[in-house]
Amino acid sequence: MGFQLGNVVLTYPNGQRALSRITLGAGRGERVAVIGPSGAGKTSLLRLLGAALRPDDGSIEVLGQGPWRLSARALRRLRSRIGVVYQKPPLPGRQRAITAILAGRLGSWPWWKAIGSLVYPADIAGAEAQLARLDLADRLFERCDRLSGGQLQRVGVARVLYQQPDLILADEPVSAMDPTLSNLTLGQLVDDATARSATLIASLHAVDLALRWFPRIVGLKAGEVVFDLPPVRITEALLRDLYAAETSVPPTQAPEPLALPARGPRNVAACKPQ
Amino acid sequence: MQASIVVTTANAHRFDPAARSRATAFVVALLVLWPLLVWSQFHPALLFETRNLAAIAQFLGGFLPPDMSVEFLRHVMRSTIETVAIATAGMSLAFLIAVPLTVANTRALSIARIGPGPGWRMSRVLHVISRGLLVSLRGMPELVWALVFVRALGLGPAAGVLALAITYGGMLAKVYAEILESADTEAARVLLQAGSGRTLALVYGLLPVAASEIVSYTVYRWECALRASVVMGFVGAGGLGQLMDQSMKMMNGAEAATILVVFLLLVLVADAVSAALRRGLA
């Protein structure tokens, strides 16, 4: 019931290959972290699973349905069961956090409820409860353009928690947060997925976070799966190999604020006793 | 073959590769615009010949001083209210026509474009049809519509309201759709990708981003509707225009001047309303 990809190929409009012959699956309630250097295809993989991109070749099944074989109405229903956490949540600056969070249920609410909610928020308690899990309840009525990058990411997470999707796709969900908040946020995503038996797939740049919160780690490199292992079997050599190309990346690319790949192996050792 | 490729890339680095196309566009624009000026018999020097200057001065001199008699001002007041009513009623109807057409038309809200998904061809066809509908609505000048409706409904404001509703409905829908497309559509796309419908994606994802543009264009169009209602008044569609038509026909410049002053005030009001609304939406 999670997802199943078979020999999936995805090519960008410019002809560059994003994913080549990926075969990957996860069952209901499984938690998978996708790691790999930038440009490995992590975001493309998640957009594919979110039925936002159509594969050029291969088979795809999400929550037991092939999205591109569905009617428009059924595809909408399927999409409303998928929640996506974006690295930079695209929320209108003038929108308040509460509206942004309640928008998580636009796919399931009747239209009159959604319109009415713009006049007076339909579920203040519900939105506040999700924001409180992420330690941000005091910003419920704040405009999104008054929030910092990390706060905005937490509003994006709260929206997906409020949506209660069967499949959660998180694309670098904590890249703008400090380690404490990163762990809090990932912990809440994991708790929510576990409590509702939802499938959780997260791409993470910080290897230590992946190893700590996920029982299954997929290494992605140049559009291919190079390993798919539980954390205990991830070795320093595997990680060094995975990030080998990262050193040749031009230094103009902004570095992620958290755990650089070079630190990965040390964190492996730190995590092993767990 | 390989050598020539190397040379081109080297050149591309030494010169701005966009320079040639920019220069071409500039020359083409000049070549197109110059004959247009000639064809439109544009001879600005004529304006400054003494004979013509005298004619203009005589015409404008008849406008002063404006007619401020109480009786005429009462007429002007009634016509002003009528003009504002025509413009506002026409704009409201135009807005009602424009909103569904905008939602149907703008690419910023296309669900089928994601993927592309099911119904993609159908949505392309519908897009072309709705564009065609917009063109036919706004293609005919409101003056022509006013003439048509004056025949059908008789002299009076109703003809002006209908004429405005039709042409301005088409204009509003076209420009709204384009404002939405040039806004940041990411928030709306994300909502569509989470299973939301077009209208909800519009109000939750696009309007918060584009509201002040939409408002400022709408108020500007209301201002245009005021002016248009005057022109339509000349063909019998009521309001200040009809009054001005009478004054002009009787060569009463003083009355025309009063009407023009009222007009200026109306435009100033529109400007203030627009500025206030935009401040509120910032």
> Which has the minimum average pLDDT: A29-33, A173-177, B61-65?
B61-65
Query: Which two tokens mark B121?
Result: 């061809």
Strand order in the sheet with A17-26: A17-26, A3-11, A57-62
Residues B17 and B100 in one domain: no
pLDDT reported for residue A27: 93
A78/B117 CB distance under 8 A: no
Rounded mean pLDDT, A103-121? 93
Provide the pLDDT confidence category of residue A10 given band limits of 50, 70 and 90: very high
Q: B203 and B92, same structural domain?
A: yes
Which residues, including other chains, have CB under 8 Å from residue B155's CB and lie 6 or more apart?
Answer: B236, B237, B238
Structural domain for B217, as ranges: 70-281
| Mean pLDDT, residues A157-161 taken together | 96
Q: Are residues B131 and B269 part of one domain?
A: yes
For B193-216, what is each residue's pLDDT tens digit? 998 988 999 999 999 999 888 988
In a domain, B195, yes or no: yes
- Are B277 and B215 within 8 A, CB to CB? yes
| Nearest chain B CA: its distance from A55 CA (Å) | 9
Task: Report pLDDT for A272.
Answer: 38
Query: What pLDDT, on a 0 to 100 scale, did the predictor assign at position A154?
Result: 95
pLDDT above 70: percentage of residues in chain A = 89
Lookup result for tokens 């149907």: B104
B189 touches chain A (CB under 8 A): yes
* A148 beta partners: none
Token pair, residue B252, equals 């009463």
- Those residues with Cβ within 8 angstroms of residue B257's Cβ, 6 or more apart along the chain or in another chain: B63, B64, B65, B66, B67
In a domain, B134, yes or no: yes
DSSP class per residue in A84-97: EE-SS----TTSBH
Q: Please report the sign of the dihedral spanned by the C-alpha atoms of residue A178, residue A183, residue A186, residue A192.
A: negative
The Cα A81–Cα B31 span in angstroms is 58
**Confidence class of residue A264 from pLDDT cuts 50, 70 and 90?**
very low
The yes-or-no verdict on residue A165 having pLDDT over 90 is: yes
User: B89 and B151 in one domain?
Assistant: yes
Domain count of the fold of chain B: 2
- Could you tell me the two tokens for B67? 């007619």
Across chain B, mean pLDDT equals: 84
Domain check: are B156 and B115 in the same one?
yes
- H-run or E-run covering B77: helix B70-105
Does B157 share its domain with B256? yes
Classified as helix, coil or strand, A249 is coil
DSSP one-letter code for A255: P
In this structure, is residue B1 part of a structural domain?
no
In contact, A92 and A155? CB cutoff 8 Å? no
Q: Determine the pLDDT at residue A249.
A: 35
Q: Which residue has the higher pLDDT, B154 or B273?
A: B273
Supply A23's token pair: 């075969």
Q: Does B148 touch chain A (CB under 8 A)?
A: no
pLDDT of residue A61: 94
Residues of B in contact with A110 (CB under 8 A): none
Are B208 and A68 in contact (CB < 8 Å)? Answer: no
**Same domain? B20 vs B92:** no
Q: Are residues B86 and B109 in the same domain?
A: yes
pLDDT band at B233 (very low <50, low <70, confident <90, very high): confident
Query: Taking CB atoms and an 8 Å cutoff, what residues of chain A touch B114?
Result: 51-52
pLDDT tens readout for residues B152-190: 887 778 888 888 899 999 999 999 999 999 999 899 999
CB contacts, 8 Å: B189 with chain A: 90
Q: A72 at the B interface (CB within 8 A)?
A: yes
Q: Are residues B48 and B168 in the same domain?
A: no
Chain A residues in contact with B190 by the CB 8 A cut-off are: 84, 86, 90
Helix (H, G, I), strand (E, B) or coil at A109: coil
pLDDT of residue B43 exceeding 90? no
Nearest CA of chain B to the CA of A35: how many Å? Answer: 23
pLDDT greater than 70 at residue B65: yes
Token digits of residue B230: 């005057």
pLDDT at B122 over 90: no
Is residue A105's pLDDT more than 70?
Answer: yes
Q: Round the average pLDDT of chain A to a whole number and report it.
A: 86
Q: In what order do the strands lie in the sheet containing A82-85?
A: A82-85, A167-171, A199-203, A31-35, A217-221, A224-229
Q: With pLDDT > 90 as the criterion, what percentage of chain B qualifies?
A: 22
- Asked: is A1-81+166-274 a CATH 3.40.50.620 domain? The reply is no
Residue B127 lies in a domain: yes
Per-residue pLDDT averaged across A67-78, rounded? 91
Task: Please report residues of B whose CB lies closer than 8 A to that of A83.
Answer: 194
pTM, to two decimals: 0.79
The interface pTM score, or ipTM, of the predicted complex is 0.85
Are both B251 and B156 inside the same structural domain? Answer: yes
The CATH number for B119's domain is 1.10.3720.10
Q: Please indicate whether residue A267 or residue A223 has the higher confidence score (pLDDT).
A: A223
The predicted structure's pLDDT at residue B13: 63
Residue A259 has pLDDT above 80, yes or no: no
Q: pLDDT tens, B3-28?
A: 444 444 545 567 788 888 999 999 99
Is residue B218 assigned to a domain?
Answer: yes
Q: Which of B117, B191, B211 sits opposite A106 (nearest CB)?
A: B191
Distance separating alpha carbons of residues A141 and A147, to the nearest angstrom: 11
B85 and B211 share a domain? Answer: yes
Q: Which residues of A178-202 are buried (b: 16+ CB within 10 A; e: fewer)?
A: eeebbbbbbebbbebbeeeebbbbb
Whole-number pLDDT of residue A268: 42
Q: What is the pLDDT of residue A260?
A: 37
Beta carbons of B118 and A75 less than 8 Å apart: yes
Determine, yes or no, domain membership for B37: yes
* Cβ neighbours of A125 (radius 10 Å): 7
Q: What is the mean pLDDT of residues A210-215?
A: 91
The strand pair at A224-229 and A217-221 is best described as antiparallel
Distance separating alpha carbons of residues B238 and B232, to the nearest angstrom: 8
CB of A80 within 8 A of CB of B194? Answer: yes
Q: Which of A259-273, B79-93, B153-167, B234-248 has the lowest mean pLDDT?
A: A259-273
Same domain assignment for residues B105 and B210: yes
Q: Is residue B7 part of a domain?
A: no
Query: B73 or A267: whose pLDDT is higher?
Result: B73
